[in-house]
Amino acid sequence: MEMRTQATILTRLLPKTGKVFSHQDGDDGYYQAGWWKGLSLANNKVRFVTKTLAGDVVVIDNATGLMWVQDGTSAGGNNGVDLSWSEALTAAFALTFAGFADWRLPNIKELFSLFDATVSASPFPEDLFIDAAAGGKFWSSTMRTAEIGYALTLDRFGDINPEFVADDHFMFAVRGGV
């Protein structure tokens, strides 16, 4: 009989998915790999910290070092109003929020790093982020390589889709990490 021990997978700076139950040895719940360097759930560090800065609420992701706007209905989410890709880039770039003026639209990997598979109405952890998307899609700054005129979005199912840049979708501004 072969004895196997649960391996520690070091995936520094890659966020955990949040899965804590294992359905089969070797699945994500079994390893719980991610930022916390393979420590057991009881010993995990806090990944997200919510702070109020200059009257605005932000979420700091300790795994990636990024600061996110918490509320998609605030100025950092264009007050919950959807925009074309170009308008979203411009709005994020021009944003002054929480005392900072270096906001931007996240690239697709940064945006996906927030994805929470346990949430059904939004792609983001519901206890941390407030959005007005009601099942909509969120723009990333990443343009599709194969086709000019299409940029990548993230939807509530975690699907990454190319969308025509003139279409209107939601935004969440981010800062840091560049």
162 forms bridges with which residues in the sheet?
Answer: 152
Widest distance between CA atoms in the chain? 63
The pLDDT mean for the chain works out to 79
| Rounded-to-integer distance, Cα 155 and Cα 104, Å | 19
Name the percent of the chain lying above pLDDT 90: 41
With 70 as the cut, is the pLDDT of residue 177 above it? no
Report pLDDT for 139: 94
CATH 3.40.1710 is held by the domain 48-175: no
Q: What is the pTM of this model?
A: 0.76
CA-angle at 94, arms to 93 and 97, nearest 5°: 100
Query: 107 in the Ramachandran plot: left (φ > 0), alpha (ψ -120 to 50) or beta?
Result: beta
Q: Reduced to 3 states, what is the DSSP secondary structure of residue 105?
A: coil
Side chain identity at 73, as an amino acid letter?
T
pLDDT in tens, 55-92: 999 999 877 888 999 998 899 989 989 999 999 999 99
Domains of the chain, residue spans: 1-45, 48-175
Q: How far is CA 146 from CA 85, 142, 151, 162, in A?
A: 17, 12, 10, 10
| Rounded-to-integer distance, Cα 46 and Cα 151, Å | 32
Q: And the tokens for 90?
A: 């411009």
Dump strand ranges (E) for 40-136: 48-53, 56-61, 66-69
pLDDT in tens, 94-113: 999 999 999 999 999 888 88
**Exposed/middle/buried for 114, CB within 10 Å: 0-12, 13-18, 19+?**
buried
With 80 as the cut, is the pLDDT of residue 125 above it? no
